[in-house]
Amino acid sequence: MSSSTWINNLSCSSPVVQSSGDTSIPLIFQWLRFIFLSPCPQRALLASVDLLFLLVLLGLAAQKLHSRFTSSGHSGSDINKPLNGNGNSRAHIITSIWFKLSSIVPVLLALCYIVVSVLDFSQKSQLPHWKVLDGVFWLVHAITHLVIAIVIIHEKRFQAVTHPLSLRIYWVANFVLVSLSMSSGIIRLATLEHNLLFDDIVSAIAFTLSSCSFFRCH
């Protein structure tokens, strides 16, 4: 196996690094290369970050609900007040172009991932086993970005002055992983291997949209 074909390997169960012939590269780096740059483990890594983010949000939401119930009957509690201290919840809230962009980007990403997921599931009988799993990964991405859009709308309601720390950390991690995914696509294109051309196009779109969120989170 040539040193360039490992990146096009579709295996999810075991890395191809052990038979790649790259004896000059330490085994640990071959494993890291497989995990971060090969298609199937990339999707699993991205989905794992999404699931971790959703679990964190779920924990924060449960904590907030608990605080709301324990503070019921105390009208002066901060939990019932807008973040800017304005008691008029019906006031017209003016949002900047950056806020509008922050709310539009996750919706666009969610729609993109939903389309790709549906396409993968509709061709289930014609796809290799890992591509069926890939459809699940795309669906996780879609759900995550729909939740992000809801969180941002929630920020507008309570007139938040900044995005939650958990969301900003997620944007950074997601941008790094999407950048790796796009880089892998460029390598595949450079080696004239088009096994995942459609997925690489999706990664390029995700990279472009995720860049907006990444630079906004600073």
Q: Is the pLDDT of residue 116 over 50?
A: yes
Q: Is the pLDDT of residue 64 over 60?
A: yes
pLDDT tens across 71-109, in order? 765 554 444 444 444 444 444 445 567 677 778 889 999
With H, G, I as helix, E, B as strand and everything else as coil, classify residue 9: coil
pLDDT tens across 155-172, in order? 776 666 677 888 889 999
Secondary-structure breakdown of the chain: helix, strand, coil percentages, each rounded to the nearest 5 = 70, 0, 30
Say which residues have a Cβ less than 8 Å from residue 21's Cβ, sequence separation at least 6: 1, 2, 3
Average pLDDT over residues 174-178: 91
Instruction: Select the more confidently predicted residue: 139 or 31.
Output: 139
Q: How far is the C-alpha of 214 from the C-alpha of 103, rounded, in Å? A: 13
CB 188, CB 203: distance < 8 Å: no
Write down the pTM of the prediction: 0.74
Of 2, 40, 39, give the one whose Cα is nearest residue 20: 2
With H, G, I as helix, E, B as strand and everything else as coil, classify residue 26: coil
Average pLDDT over residues 49-72: 87
Give the percent of the chain with pLDDT over 70: 66
Cα–Cα distances (Å) from 26 to 9, 33, 93, 215, in that order, read 20, 11, 56, 35
